[in-house]
Amino acid sequence: MPSAVLTAGPRPSPPGAPAGGPRATLWLLRFVALVHAGLAVGQPLLAGIYLSGRFDALATHSLNAGLVMLACMWQFGAALLYVWPGRGRGWPVLVTAPLFFAEGLQIGMGYAGRLTVHVPLGVAIVTTQVVFAVWLFRSGARRSGRGPRVRGRSRTGAAEQPAPAGSHPKAGEQA
């Protein structure tokens, strides 16, 4: 009789994936994303120090902005490794690329003194990066982004049940 105890041992890699699947590249992406998130969270803190009267904090805020963009470049590279040789999901690249351009715009708006764009864009950047870093530690990040698609099966792998006799398909569904 099979045991009802589930173990949390390593899962086998998908066929054709390198040993370890997306795990090795996932840990690299997690590390870089945490560094990026930490630097991004530091930006509003440094801005707050500047606004409280310590005007030298503006230079640190500016320096940190450059580090945030550098971390984003590293994150993009780590995301590419996670997707391509690591066989991870593709959307980390699709999140990181626009984030890089948003951070460039953010720096430009800051230097131009356009705080009506700079502040809300900063909130969006920090929120996006923190949510992204949190997702990387959830179980969905460990799943491979590529795999065989089997017709007639749901996402969970269970066979789909045929529609009851006499029922009509909804708009957009196949009969």
Tokens read off for 21: 């699947």
Alpha-carbon Rg for the chain, nearest whole angstrom, is 22
- What is the pLDDT at residue 87? 85
Please state the φ and ψ torsions of residue 153, each to the nearest 5 degrees: -125, 145
Contacts of 128 (CB under 8 A, 6+ apart): 95, 99, 102
Q: Per-residue pLDDT tens, the chain, 175 aa: give them.
A: 555 554 444 445 555 544 555 689 999 999 999 999 999 999 999 999 999 999 999 999 999 999 999 999 999 999 999 998 888 889 999 999 999 999 999 999 999 999 999 999 999 999 999 999 999 998 888 877 655 444 555 455 555 555 556 655 555 555 5
- pLDDT value, residue 171: 58
Dmax (CA) of the chain = 75
Nearest to 35 by CA among 3, 77, 6: 77
How many alpha carbons lie under 13 Å from residue 64 in its C-beta half-sphere?
A: 19
- The length of the chain, given as a count of residues: 175
What is the pLDDT, as a whole number, of residue 9? 45
The pLDDT score that the predictor gives to residue 169 is 56
